[in-house]
Amino acid sequence: MPPPRTSADTDISRAAIESAPYAVFVCNDDGVFERVNAAFTRLTGFDADSLVNRRTFVSLLDPAEVARRDLPVLSGVQSDETPYDGEWSCLHHNRTRLPVRLALSCVEGAPGERRWVGIVLDLSQEAQIAQQLWYVTHHDEVTRLPNQRLLIQRLELAISRCARLGGDLSVLLIELEQLRQLQGAFGQPTAERALQIAAERLRSSAGPEDTVACIGGRQFVVVTPGTGERALSLGERMRIHLGQSIDAHPAPLTLDACVGVASYPAHGDTPEALMRRASVALADALTIGGGVRVFRSAMDTASNRRQELESLLRAAFAEPRQPQLHVVYQPQVTLADGAMRCVETLMRWRHPVHGMISPGEFVPVAEACGLIVPLGEWVMRRACREASLLLRRSGVLPRVSVNVSPQQFHRQDVVAMVRRALDDFALEPRYLEIEITESVLLTDAEPAGAALRELHELGVEIAVDDFGTGYASLAYLTRFPADRLKIDQSFVRNMLTDPQCNAIVAAVIAMAHALGLRVTAEGVETAEQAKHLTELGCDEAQGYWFARPMDARGLYHVIAPLGNGARR
């Protein structure tokens, strides 16, 4: 039997309760307060006089929770003396609800008397942290829009609602083109600002029932009720709104967008199916150069074709003993005297079953799946190897030009890769030229610029391919070493019939010469085009009018007489 409690023990107990840092109360078996400490009054906003012997603890709990949950002291005398621990909503004096954790223990007093001692912990800060954590994990950091996790949850609910009520909906997948190039050209803050402006424009274009989400660095998703013309109209409106000029430093920018659309129930009944088919439609829009595209079954066929090509290309690259890949060379002719001073290296693929597969079909697949980096190095090494053999056999060699993709600059040490190829096959740098596209100058501009300068100092020449199709300008080129510009064939093809194309060709030639750069026109197919380019002062031309691509054996037969003549 425990010893009887003294008045000193009682005084110590009161002092301990009063000084406790947590809210503590004592109530009788009916739940009426008998004692509360200062922390309890601060937590609830009630003073001790309004609680002790006046109110029950149950009166401070959310009535809705009390109606559906069990708690000791709720119904008078209780036989269960097991300690209780649970989370509740406590009503503050100002009638707001406060999330709390409640612990109750039964304490025996005099014979036949029981008391309940309760400790109440404020969970509002934990709830706030949990809410903030939920927001962070469900929203994009830059745009503050729902991210993919929250999008899928909302899309599941929307599909369930449509299935239950008989409605329909559309998923619009929107991609901002060239945002990565903008980042490389103008920096990360400008790119993020452009992304935020895009998000605001999508919000303003969307309706109250639409969900707008950001699921990646340059992709947005809009879930909207309805299909058909309504979805197409919304996609076109958003695309036009996104394309309006952005007043950004150091120059105004525009954001071109492509949109892929998939609808429920026509194109799938799960979020995954709709997202995949919207992605297929988006890929089709990107392929044709922009606009809004609605998913069709034929697109799935094209998507399957791309996947098939990727698998076949990986197998072809992994099996060098049965070579399917090879390189050919297309001469570039000096218009003033007809001399061939450079040849462009082009990759070709002959599959044993499917025959010749066009570079226009397999190169985009290689770029999309990351194979372009090892393939690009393979082409560089093959070109250097065959060039070295040609030089030893014929005694002469035009400069060999090899394309290096933006992904190679981004994902590998291009300078080291070029040095290895030159050293392994004993080829002097002066016989090599690399062709880059404008996007190399805009994506990761500083590292790419440093690599280009190092290659140029080594003796490798630099050509900028497809000039005029991107963001780069001649003024921008002054920051990087370049020896030659290649005018894109789309301008050359139409220059005799389109005054604007002709003006672009003439302007590029004049401005390039002012900067000390040579100019090569691509895609020359007629004598009239060659004559007109000569009159404009173009330095070189490349195209079927002069020569089709040829393998190393064919190139040898072209240059060997030149070497023999030089030796005689």
The answer to whether residue 568 scores a pLDDT higher than 50 is no
- When divided into structural domains, the chain yields a total of 3
pLDDT at residue number 252: 67
* Long-range contacts, 148-152 (Cβ 8 Å, 24+): 148/213, 148/215, 148/216, 150/213, 151/211, 151/213, 151/215, 151/221, 151/223, 152/271
| String of DSSP letters for 378-412 | HHHHHHHHHHHHHHHHHS--PEEEEE--HHHHHHS
Taking residues 107-124, report their average pLDDT.
80
- Range 26-44 average pLDDT: 90
> Band of the pLDDT at 1, cuts 50, 70, 90?
very low
Q: Are 399 and 382 in contact (CB under 8 A)?
A: no
**What is the pLDDT averaged over residues 48-67?**
90
Q: Name the strands in the sheet holding 84-91, side by side, starting at the edge strand that comes first in the sequence.
A: 33-36, 23-28, 114-122, 97-108, 84-91
Q: Do residues 122 and 40 touch, judged by C-beta distance below 8 A?
A: no
Choosing from 262, 295, 328, the residue where a domain stops is 295
Read off the pLDDT of residues 501-537 as tens digits, 9 standing for 90 and up. 999 999 989 988 988 999 999 999 999 999 999 999 9
503 and 392 both lie in a single domain: yes
* Residue 313 located in a structural domain: no
**Is 314 part of any domain?**
no
Query: For the residues 10-20, what does the mean pLDDT come to?
Result: 69
Looking at residue 476, its pLDDT comes to: 62
CATH number where 79 lies: 3.30.450.20
Q: How much is the pLDDT for 497?
A: 92
User: Do 400 and 549 fall within a single domain?
Assistant: yes
Contacts of 23 (CB under 8 A, 6+ apart): 36, 37, 39, 40, 42, 43, 44, 119, 120, 121, 122
Residues 488 and 374 occupy one common structural domain: yes
Residues 51 and 172 in one domain: no
CA 158, CA 152: separation in Å to the nearest integer? 10
Does 274 share its domain with 367?
Answer: no
What are φ and ψ of residue 438, in 5° steps? -60, -30
**Spatial distance between the Cα atoms of 456 and 435, rounded to a whole number of angstroms:** 12
Of 120, 113, 34, 105, nearest to 72 by C-alpha is 105
Give pLDDT tens digits for 531-563.
999 999 999 999 999 999 999 999 999 988 876
471 and 349 together in one domain: yes
Contact 88, 63 (CB under 8 A): no
Residue holding tokens 């610029």? Answer: 449
Range with lowest mean pLDDT among 74-83, 207-216, 365-374: 74-83
Q: Does residue 307 belong to any structural domain of this protein?
A: no
Compute the residue count for the chain. Answer: 568
| Domain range enclosing 256 | 139-295
**Are 483 and 477 in contact, with CB atoms under 8 Å apart?**
no
What distance in Å separates the CA atoms of residue 232 and residue 285, rounded to the nearest whole number? Answer: 13
Q: b/e string for 127-150 if b means 16 or more Cβ within 10 A?
A: eeeeeeeeeeeebbeebebbbbeb
Note whether residue 134 is domain-resident: no
Share the mean pLDDT of the chain.
85
**463 inside domain:** yes
Sheet holding 169-176, edge to edge: 211-214, 219-225, 169-176, 257-264, 291-294
Q: What is the mean pLDDT of residues 39-67?
A: 91
Based on the fold, state whether residues 498 and 393 are members of the same structural domain: yes
Residue 69 forms part of a structural domain: yes
| pLDDT for position 468 | 62
The Cα 506–Cα 96 span in angstroms is: 74
- Residue 350 corresponds to which tokens in the numbers above? 């002959």
For 80, list phi and psi in degrees, rounded to 5.
-85, 115
Query: Does position 75 have pLDDT exceeding 50, yes or no?
Result: no
Mark whether 79 and 184 lie in a shared domain.
Answer: no
Mean per-residue pLDDT for 215-232?
89
- What pLDDT digit, counting tens, does each position of 149-178 carry? 999 999 999 999 999 988 999 999 999 877
| 402-415 pLDDT tens trace | 999 988 888 889 99
Final residue in a domain of this structure, among 64, 93, 127? 127
The residue-averaged pLDDT of 167-195 equals 81
CA angle 380, 385, 387 (to 5 degrees): 95
Q: What confidence score (pLDDT) does residue 40 get?
A: 94
CATH code for the domain in which residue 508 is found: 3.20.20.450
378 and 475 in a single domain? The answer is: yes
303 lies in a domain?
A: no
Q: What CATH number is attached to the domain comprising 167?
A: 3.30.70.270
Q: What is the pLDDT of residue 7?
A: 47
Which of 71, 97, 127 is the last residue in one of the domains?
127
What pLDDT shows up at residue 110?
64
User: For residues 381 and 437, which has the higher predicted lDDT (pLDDT)?
Assistant: 381
Per-residue pLDDT band at 335 (split at 50, 70, 90):
very high
Give me the pLDDT at residue 479, please: 74
pLDDT > 70 in the chain, percent: 89
Secondary structure class of 223 (helix, strand, coil):
strand
Mean pLDDT of 332-354: 92
In this structure, the answer to whether residues 494 and 385 fall within a common structural domain is yes
pLDDT band, residue 76 (cuts 50/70/90): very low
Same domain, 110 and 196: no
Q: In what helix (H) or strand (E) does residue 499 lie, and over which residues does it extend?
A: helix 499-514
Give the pLDDT of residue 8.
Answer: 44
492 contacts 505 by C-beta, under 8 angstroms: yes
What average pLDDT does the segment 225-241 reach? 90
Are 380 and 529 in the same domain? yes
11 in a structural domain: yes
Over range 479-494, report the average pLDDT: 89
